[in-house]
């Protein structure tokens, strides 16, 4: 009968290699899970009709960044947490001051001053047109622009045409710029927890599939 004997140094080397293989497997598995969850959340946002720009606010990172670790962890987050959270939970949005929420119409355009979000004050400064409040009950009230015209792009603009004898400019219109409502109810359009649970369940298989074969 022949006996084989391995030295302690050989055994130690094998254990170290296996321990390193485990760290690599956990880090790679966590990377695959975080990338998969990020992609799933981005698909959800786009499928809900919220646009690719909002979808791209979802990011992921695995820690530690530069070395494999058996304690690797992933963070998936969004740069627009309030907006994503509102559509994930469903939310009622009210004015901070307790008055009205001003919802811009297409005639208002998409931007106020510079690249800021369009607001009644910013719109007045950008166009030089004063808005007039129109109360309607039970319908939503309005902020309208008087003595205005519609541009070729479908935006309200100042009417600089000559006035007729009755004082009215040719082609003048009263155009609704903002719709005023006390609150807006956002229905739940995302289910981020569902995808998170799916990828958490896949993690053990991702770790074992990334275990280096020796």
Same domain, 146 and 166: yes
Mean residue pLDDT of the chain comes to 86
Q: What is the pLDDT of residue 93?
A: 76
d(CA 207, CA 26): 5
**Assigned domain for 1 exists:** no
Tens digits of per-residue pLDDT, 73-105? 999 999 999 889 989 998 887 777 667 888 899
**Assigned domain for 167 exists:** yes
Same domain, 100 and 143: yes
Same domain, 178 and 205: no
Domain count, the chain: 2
**Assigned domain for 146 exists:** yes
| CA nearest neighbour of 203 among 69, 29, 37, 60 | 29
**Assigned domain for 197 exists:** yes
Average pLDDT over residues 4-23: 74
Pair 21, 214: CB distance under 8 Å: yes
Q: What is the pLDDT of residue 114?
A: 63
Pair 80, 74: CB distance under 8 Å: no
Q: What is the pLDDT of residue 180?
A: 92
Q: What is the pLDDT of residue 6?
A: 55
| Token pair belonging to 188 | 């739940």
Same domain, 162 and 115: yes
Same domain, 79 and 132: no
Same domain, 74 and 97: no
d(CA 93, CA 182): 9
**Assigned domain for 3 exists:** no
**Assigned domain for 81 exists:** yes
The residue ranges of DSSP E strands in the chain, in sequence order, are 58-63, 73-78, 91-94, 101-104, 131-134, 141-150, 156-158, 173-181, 183-186
Same domain, 100 and 112: yes
Owner of token pair 């719109």: 123
**Assigned domain for 97 exists:** yes
What range does the domain containing 14 cover?
A: 8-90+188-209
d(CA 171, CA 133): 22
Same domain, 72 and 100: no
Same domain, 179 and 194: no
**Assigned domain for 112 exists:** yes
Q: What is the pLDDT of residue 1?
A: 45
d(CA 8, CA 158): 88
Tens digits of per-residue pLDDT, 105-152? 999 987 666 667 888 989 998 888 999 999 998 889 999 999 888 888
Same domain, 25 and 97: no
Q: Is the pLDDT of residue 49 over 70?
A: yes
Same domain, 75 and 26: yes
Pair 161, 170: CB distance under 8 Å: yes
Tens digits of per-residue pLDDT, 58-71? 999 999 998 999 99
Same domain, 39 and 72: yes
Please give the C-alpha separations between residue 114 and each of 123, 148, 209, in angstroms, as whole numbers: 11, 22, 51
Q: What is the pLDDT of residue 105?
A: 93
Tens digits of per-residue pLDDT, 163-194? 666 556 666 889 999 999 888 777 899 999 99
């Amino acid at each position: 009968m022949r006996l084989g004997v391995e030295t302690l140094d050989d055994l130690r080397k094998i254990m170290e290699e296996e321990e390193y293989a485990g760290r690599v497997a956990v880090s790679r598995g966590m990377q695959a899970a975080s990338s998969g969850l990020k992609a799933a959340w981005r698909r959800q946002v786009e499928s809900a009709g919220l646009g690719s720009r909002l979808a791209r606010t979802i990011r992921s990172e695995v820690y530690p960044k530069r070395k494999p670790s058996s304690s690797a962890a992933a963070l998936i987050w969004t740069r627009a947490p309030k907006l994503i959270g509102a559509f994930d939970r469903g939310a009622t949005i009210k004015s901070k001051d307790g008055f009205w929420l001003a919802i811009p119409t297409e005639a208002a355009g998409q931007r106020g001053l510079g690249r800021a979000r369009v607001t009644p004050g910013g719109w007045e400064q950008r166009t030089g047109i004063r808005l007039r409040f129109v109360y309607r009950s039970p319908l939503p009230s309005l902020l309208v622009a008087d003595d205005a015209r519609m541009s070729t792009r479908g935006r309200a603009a100042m009417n600089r045409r000559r006035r007729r004898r009755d004082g009215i400019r040719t082609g003048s219109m009263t155009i609704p710029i903002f719709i005023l409502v006390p609150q807006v109810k956002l229905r739940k359009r995302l289910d981020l927890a569902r995808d998170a649970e799916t990828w958490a369940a896949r993690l053990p298989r991702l770790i074992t599939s990334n275990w280096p074969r020796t």
